[in-house]
Structure 1
């Protein structure tokens, strides 16, 4: 196994994923980045890592990503499972194909990546996975029905995986962002946020970097809200 720390970040070509890649690089990780658009290749080149084009919904692409990281660097210390947004619409108007596609996008991508990196992390003595979820995972929103439902399932997977692999020194947590400045936020939505503004993507990345780091060595199986006070439950 190599000695440098390596971080794999998906959907890293822009927004939260790019911010996470940049923050982890500042912390000393070598970035291995991935995006459907191919923009992650440019980000990785800028950061001194390596980038790939592919889809988190394609098991073969995920396997090629992890294989490339291991072949090039010999290890994977951190994984940030970030994705795009599943479809929206009225609850019963969303078609079966959209539900199945979203399952691949926001849940099975994490399951598949975990299958790939867990043996690597176990062999090297540990690692950390951070899943980018949503504020509505535990307070379902009719505006984001597919995301709310499937990311609630992601929270359960996060906890079960964390318990199963804690003794291996492998941690898994989830970050639940509210609205971020990588997308347009209208005045009505802004008024719902107690802090009165969307998050900067760098603020989400700071939480991810903490969970990936040794500073969070006793934190696992948690769903951390970074939403400016948007959700109401305690």
Structure 2
């Protein structure tokens, strides 16, 4: 299936590790022009070099998405390089969940800045470029806790629920501009955070995944490549009639459709 992503300019925040890195590899393989950013300059450079070596047209920018100036620099670099923007993936984030009474104001503020306000700012900054291109696509990476928050899931579940509301509101507002806005809500997916958790607990990664996936109907952990495939589809011409939806990528674990 031709996704018709060749030469499309796609920006991916949090694109230097885990799900984001899998996505930029997929987009590069499809012939898209990819701009990725992340906080760790060495990791951004490594992923950008890897993609360039495979023949992809790519730029990597070390940036903290919670800083407006960094986002402006990231987006500006893409426009300077290619003269347009066709899509944005708001993927930056990290796990921050625990007992409600243990979460300070600072923890709440940091989480909302990273997962909500950064997406708001990045989307606002790319809108003129998407309109100039005749339309485009925005995909927000969220979590199934946005639909079905469990105890001990704050502040992440609240930040992600706000991201889901943002997705729906923008899909309605930007539809007339031919700009589609969707969300992918992940469940248990392979990522660096689980690798680090296994190391902290002194157990094998496979053992951790086995224990975590016991409540997943499909009985396994999702792969980062499966996330990349879904997002690439949502960004593509094949997903041209999809907007305002939040798709669970969770092996069936979320009790909410």
Range of TM-score over shorter length: over 0.9
How far residue 30 of structure 1 moved from its aligned partner, in angstroms, is 1.0
Alpha-carbon distance in 2 for matches of 1:179, 1:104:
23
How many residues of Structure 1 are paired with residues of Structure 2 in the alignment? 232
How far residue 181 of structure 1 moved from its aligned partner, in angstroms, is 1.5
Partner residue of 2:178 out of 169, 193, 202:
169
Q: What are the Cα deviations for residues 51-106 of structure 1, in whole angstroms up to 9, with x where unaligned?
A: 01111111111111111101110111121111231422211220001101111110
TM-score (norm 2): 0.87
Partner residue of 1:47 out of 51, 56, 73:
51
List alignment gaps of at least 5 residues for structure 2: 1-5, 53-57, 196-207
Contact 1:11 1:40 in 2 (8 A): no
Alpha-carbon distance in 2 for matches of 1:225, 1:15:
18
SS of the equivalent of 2:155 reads: helix
Is it true that 1:150 corresponds to 2:159 in the alignment? yes
TM-score (norm 1): 0.95
Contact 1:16 1:204 in 2 (8 A): yes
Partner residue of 1:208 out of 204, 226, 231:
231
> What RMSD in Å do the two structures reach over aligned CA positions?
1.4
Shifted more, 141-150 versus 118-127: the winner is: 141-150
The higher radius of gyration belongs to 2
Alpha-carbon distance in 2 for matches of 1:110, 1:83:
8
Is it true that 1:16 corresponds to 2:19 in the alignment? yes
Shifted more, 208-217 versus 177-186: the winner is: 177-186
Alpha-carbon distance in 2 for matches of 1:205, 1:142:
29
Divergent runs of 4+, >3 A? 184-188
List alignment gaps of at least 5 residues for structure 1: none
Is it true that 1:92 corresponds to 2:80 in the alignment? no
